[in-house]
A = this chain, B = another copy of it.
Amino acid sequence: VPDYVPEPSAEYRRIRLRLAYDGTRFCGWQVQKRERTVQQVIELALQKMHDRRVPITGAGRTDSGVHAAGQAAHFDTELLTVPPYKFAPALNSLLPSDVRILEAEEADRAFDARRSAKAREYRYYTASAERLSPFRSPYVLALRTLPDIRKLNGYARAVTGEHDFSAFAAAGDQSASRVRYIYSASWYPEGPMLVFRIVGNAFLWRMVRSLVGTMLELETRGEPEQAMVEILRSRERSDAGATAAPRGLFLHRVLYE
């Protein structure tokens, strides 16, 4: 793939995608030299269709091993004879089976998958190792025992609203501000699983996995809800718990106006 990106001609349309991927064998979303990434395999498929490099923009940069049930992205195309809905089957026929385009449609030229996004929803799946099907295990964190959901929901309440989430940002997070708005955060049961659902305007690097790892540690130690409030207030990453494994995390959907 050449580094030079020619401008699309004046006659182009913007295509918006909704897509899913199994993150297990990807080094995350963003293109990296020598690593297999989701953005790279999709750009490779677009290049085959266009005979030139076609960059895509994703709503969120998922990490290595993190899955997506509803990632969003956009790209520009000058293939005006291809009806927009045809991009999904055309791309799927060129993509490996661990990425699927769920939907493709024409968007306004002002639409930007990342900047237009109003909120992101993530879900983190856990289950007790004893009851976890081996065929779900690549997508669920196996726990020795199932935690107390009331305790977990106490910690989750502490993070809703607007906060400085420095205590839950991985070292290397590049954000200018670490203030984020969390619309909702809660744990719910789903079959043999306990799932953490969080909706926020945006997230710091590894924030969801740091929140999950911390809540699970606090529950194991029997800490009160107040412990989560204090970690958040400290703004110190060292006060929070370990980062939970990527296998349980899904970018569930991206919300626009």
List chain A positions with a Cβ less than 8 A from chain B.
20-22, 67, 89, 92-93, 97-100, 129-130, 132-135, 137-139, 142, 144
**Contact B92 A138, beta carbon cutoff 8 Å:** no
Distance in angstroms from A98 CB to nearest chain B CB is: 5
Q: Top 4 closest A-B pairs, CB basis?
A: A97-B137, A22-B134, A97-B142, A98-B134
In the bound complex, how far is the Cα of B179 from the Cα of A191, in angstroms? Answer: 44
Nearest Cβ on chain B to A191's Cβ, whole angstroms: 15
Contact across chains for B144 and A93 when beta carbons are under 8 A apart:
yes
A133 touches B93 (CB 8 A): no
Q: Give complex CA distance A92, B192 in Å.
A: 16
Closest to A69 in B: B135
A138 to B98, CA, bound (A): 8
Question: A190 → chain B, closest Cβ, in Å?
Answer: 15
Q: Please determine whether A97 and B129 come into contact, CB atoms closer than 8 angstroms.
A: yes
